[in-house]
Structure 1
Amino acid sequence: FLNTGAPGLAVPPPAGYPGGLPVGYYSPQQPYAFPSYQLPGGIHPIQYQPGKYHMPNQPVPITWMPGPALMPNCPPGLEYLTQLDNIHVLQHFEPLEMMTSFETNNRYDIKNNLDQMVYIVTEDTDDFRNAYRTLRPFVLRVTDFMGREIMTMQRPFRCTCCCLCCPSSRQELEVQCPPGVTIGFVAEHWNLCRAVYSLQSEKRENVMRVRGPCSTYGCGSDSVFEVKSLDGMSNIGSIIRKWNGLLSAMGDADHFEIHFPLDLDVKMKAMIFGACFLIDFMYFERSPPQNSSR
């Protein structure tokens, strides 16, 4: 007979974070109960070993980066970035987009080098998703391990029918942290042969530049977007779109690596983080197979 065992004990959240874990997630320290089955007429039970069999109706455990302590002069939720000099942006593969012409909202896992989850990013775009495809305006919501929305990124709709050098046709991303409080903008600059962006403060003052390769459609190699000082003399960091073989060529499952100095201002780290998503939508987001092309 099935014996479900004792339920796992709840694990309190790290210091500085009230409340509990988001619904559907487990702390890596939380114990699990595994069903046991009695042999006919026997004494010794047979147990499923952890990690060997998938347990029905149980979500796969997610290992989260330990919650850092609250810091002064740091927007709430960005404390994680103060401890990191690089992060990985992993887009979820959406089979529905490959098989149909239906565009689904993008989802991303943000992880550190230890494969620990740092943030979850979800797209919240319902009205324009299938009308404008890759040119759609979007809202990206960044949540932490408690499900709190700690950052919001918004891309307004910009008409591309105008001349490419017209400011009204250039793409832009606004970064808010916490939601409702603008900390900066990612603004596209017109360039004949490569992607160029400026990272701006909340007062729209240029702080850094992002310079992409001449070709972002390279097959079989990474695409590197360099983060530089305004004069272009100093390398500050990079946004690298990793080549993942056929998965990169056929489906929306992009993998980005973001590098920046450990001691860089945390707001500027958030701006580089935001630039990664505008780059993804502009150059690597594929429309579902219709009569469309990138």
Structure 2
Amino acid sequence: MMSAVDQVISAQPESGEKTTLTADTDAGGYQPLGLKDLTKTNVLRVHQYLDVLEVLLGWERSNRYQICDADGKQILYGYEVGVCLARKVLGSSRGLVLKFSDNESQDVISLHRPLRCSTRCCWMCCHLQEMAIHSPPGTPIGTVREIWSCGAPVYNVYNLKEGLLYTIVGDCCHCRACGDVTFHVYEGPREKEDKVADLSKHWTGCRDIIGAANDFSLTYIKDIGVKDKLTIFGAVFLIGFNYFEKHCRC
């Protein structure tokens, strides 16, 4: 039987000549050759595949994602790398790694989420969630961290020097039925006139009710750099696991 990773790789288009990712350079800055399609779009649509076996058996399986542009063209394919037992026992609170490859089957992004308690009853005894973004894999470019709040969910986006880049703020009610839930991304501290992106979790009917798969869209309102786009992109999955994965919730 093929493993989840083998299935993912076999589902990719056949690769031609491989491109090479380069990280920061003194001369050219950040040049993600494997992410050239990302630089051309201001809308990313994240579709999580519905796993029928997971629904029927109640056994949490590795998540798989399709990332498309505004026209529905696939630009990235993502899959979860993790321990089977952790998925079953810890559910949405599990630590994990998400890997994303381009249409040439080359890994271009990886997201790293450590295992942490997800309860918010006490700031002093709980570790809030965070996600580290690497592009290319193995080269960190930023971090998204959950900020404790007693009302609307808040997340901060940091660069490698721990400088605050963006603040993500959601609605107080993030379990709205029959409607989309939107998180707003602001530059620096929260200022309405400095909004740079909107992150929306879409209502998908029965898929939402059973909590088996989620769809998101990320719309960049302002023209920002590729690094910043990728870091905000990582926030989509951290927020998804925190609020919209229903299996074995803490």
Query: Is this a same-fold pair by TM over 0.5?
Result: yes
Map Cα deviations across residues 154-206 of structure 1 (whole Å, 9 max, x no partner): 00011347853238511000000011110000000001022100010012211
Deviation at 1:139, TM superposition (A): 0.2
1:101-160 deviations in whole A, cap 9, x for unaligned? Answer: 311010000011221101001000125211211100000001011111111100001134
Q: 1:98 aligns with which of 50, 55, 60?
A: 55
Alpha carbons 1:84, 1:262 under 8 Å: kept: no
Identity %: 28
Using a 3 Å threshold, how does the CA distance of structure 1 residues 78 and 166 change in structure 2: closer, same or farther?
Answer: farther
Distance apart, 1:69 and its partner CA = 11
Q: Quick one: distance in 1 between partners of 2:221 and 2:92? A: 31
1:82 to 39, 60, 65: 39
Counterpart of 2:175 in structure 1 is 217
1:206 aligns to 2:164 (yes or no): yes
Pairing 1:166-245 to 2, within 5 Å after superposition: 166=124, 169-233=127-191, 234-245=194-205
**In 1: Cα distance, 2:219 partner to 2:228 partner:** 12
Say whether the 8 Å CA contact 1:68–1:79 is kept in structure 2: no
1:267 aligns to 2:227 (yes or no)? yes
- Aligned CA-pair RMSD: 2.5
2:88 corresponds to which of 130, 140, 150? 130
Asked if 2 retains the 8 angstrom alpha-carbon contact of 1:183 and 1:201, the reply is yes
Aligned pair in 2 of structure 1 residues 201, 252: CA closer, same or farther (>3 Å)?
Answer: same
Summarize the Cα distance change of 1:139–1:25 in structure 2 as closer, same or farther, 3 Å threshold: closer
Query: What is the 5 A alignment of 1:142-157?
Result: 142-157=100-115
Q: Aligned residues, how many? A: 231
Specify every segment of 5 or more residues in structure 1 that has no aligned partner in the other structure, as ranges. Answer: 1-21, 28-66
Deviation at 1:250, TM superposition (A): 2.1
Q: What TM-score, normalized by structure 1, do the two folds share?
A: 0.72
Match of 1:77, SS? helix
Q: 1:253 aligns with which of 207, 213, 217?
A: 213
The alpha-carbon deviation at position 26 of structure 1 amounts to 4.9
Counterpart of 1:164 (choices 118, 122, 139) is 122
- State the secondary structure of the residue aligned to 2:78: strand
Shift of 1:261: 3.7
Q: Does the aligned pair in 2 maintain the 1:170–1:189 contact within 8 Å?
A: yes
**1:36-93, Cα deviation, whole Å (9 max, x unpaired):** xxxxxxxxxxxxxxxxxxxxxxxxxxxxxxx999994323423222111111000000
The reply on whether 1:112 has 2:72 as its aligned counterpart is no
TM normalised by structure 2 equals: 0.84
1:191 corresponds to which letter in structure 2?
S
Matched residues in 1 for 2:126 and 2:33: separation?
Answer: 33
Q: Tell which has more relative contact order, 1 or 2 (C-alpha 8 A, sep 6+).
A: 2
Query: Structure 1 161/253 Cα, relative in aligned 2: closer, same or farther at 3 Å?
Result: closer
